[in-house]
Amino acid sequence: MSKQGKINKITTFSIQKMKTEGEKISMLTAYDYSTAVLVDEAGVDLILVGDSLGMVILGYDSTLPVTMEDMIHHTKTVSRAAKRAMVIGDMPFMSYQISVEEALRNAGRFMKEAGAHGVKLEGGREVAEAVMKITSSGIPLMGHLGLTPQSVHQLGGYKVQGKDDKTAKRMIEDARILEEAGAFSIVLECVPAPLAGEISRSLTIPTIGIGAGVECDGQVLVVNDMLGIFEKFTPKFVKKYAKLNIDIRAAIGQYIDEVKDSKFPGEEHSF
Ligand code: KIV
């Protein structure tokens, strides 16, 4: 367990306090009970049930096909596991864009049915009304700016965002709009480090970076990436803290050999 592991249940207040006191915020994704127990017991502050599950768990090429039912199902398993971390449910494509009413209804489902402690959605000024409605209904909301994977086709691919003055200025404004609409934090994905630093300093709420440099108030990674389980592709911003793909292949290979050679089960595994 990390040195942060013994603090009480994490809330939006603890997250805000960390920013105020200059303590960095740790966030990881999780999509199932067993992984979420390990992530929670290790002492991570926020667990995101990301719609990245579309790619790393469900095997799609993007996050676009992920449904509310997929998200509710996986968020339930993570909520059962998390004793300390704040659990954030990621609102999937088209669950909040159609109308403010639908956005509120779906955000409410994450809280009522899935046991989440908050929700995340992508976008800036275009989702401000939905953000205001959700947060004024008592639901903590995390924004997401920069590379917003649900807009991958409009963005022309998974690219760094905010590289020129015009788009950088727009992102700074969008961050301010989300803060004013009531968001308690904002993910900055694939944003040049100096711009992410400027946004982080300009807000009172914390930023959580992924490919956005060290000046963000916290960091997030996809757990399957950082553990080395997801092999299909590895973005530049991923640091692999383990190579579980190698361990898993070796363990399964050994199991197969032992079954073939009648070495498993041994007497200690038999009745
Ligand atoms: O879906 C996800 O995992 C995310 C993180 C990469 C922030 O949105």
Using one digit for the tens of pLDDT, what is the confidence trace for 104-138? 999 999 999 999 999 999 999 999 999 999 999 99
Together in a domain, 79 and 186:
yes
The pLDDT of 7-35, averaged and rounded, is 96
Together in a domain, 172 and 267:
no
In a domain, 2, yes or no: no
Together in a domain, 175 and 266:
no
pLDDT confidence bin for 250, thresholds 50/70/90: very high
Together in a domain, 164 and 49:
yes
Q: How many CB atoms lie within 10 A of CB 38?
A: 14
- Statement: residue 4 has pLDDT above 70: no
Question: What's 112's domain CATH number?
Answer: 3.20.20.60
Q: Ligand 1 pocket test: pick from 47, 120, 207, 238 the residue with the most ligand atoms within 8 Å of its Cβ.
A: 120
The pLDDT of 7-29, averaged and rounded, is 95
Q: How many CB atoms lie within 10 A of CB 253?
A: 10
CA triple 94-95-101, angle to 5 deg = 120
Together in a domain, 159 and 265:
no
What's the pLDDT score for residue 230? Answer: 95
Name the one residue in this structure whose structure tokens are 């390990």.
Answer: 38
User: pTM of the entire structure?
Assistant: 0.96
In a domain, 31, yes or no: yes
Together in a domain, 117 and 247:
no
The pLDDT of 224-234, averaged and rounded, is 95
Distance of CA 148 to the CA centre of its chain: 12
In a domain, 3, yes or no: no
56 lines ligand 1 (CB under 6 A): no
Residue minimizing CA distance to atom 5 of ligand 1: 50
The pLDDT of 148-158, averaged and rounded, is 97
Report the relative pairing of strands 141-146 and 118-120 from DSSP bridges.
Answer: parallel
In a domain, 187, yes or no: yes
| Residue ranges making up the domain that contains 179 | 12-240
Q: Work out which ligand 1 atom sits closest to the CA atom of 29.
A: 3
In a domain, 205, yes or no: yes
- Statement: residue 167 has pLDDT above 60: yes
The pLDDT of 85-98, averaged and rounded, is 98
Q: Work out which ligand 1 atom sits closest to the CA atom of 48.
A: 3
Percent residues over pLDDT 90 in the chain: 97
- Split into its structural domains, the chain has a count of 2
- Statement: residue 37 has pLDDT above 80: yes
Ligand 1 centroid – CA 261 distance (Å): 43
In a domain, 7, yes or no: no
Together in a domain, 226 and 126:
yes
- Statement: residue 5 has pLDDT above 50: no
In a domain, 5, yes or no: no
Together in a domain, 197 and 139:
yes
pLDDT confidence bin for 8, thresholds 50/70/90: confident
Ligand 1 centroid – CA 225 distance (Å): 11
Is there a catalytic annotation at residue 258?
A: no
Percent residues over pLDDT 70 in the chain: 97
Together in a domain, 235 and 217:
yes
Together in a domain, 247 and 235:
no
Together in a domain, 161 and 55:
yes
Distances (CA, A) of 69 to 32, 205, 240: 15, 30, 30
- Statement: residue 43 has pLDDT above 80: yes
Residue 123 pairs in a beta bridge with 144
Together in a domain, 34 and 150:
yes
- Statement: residue 2 has pLDDT above 60: no
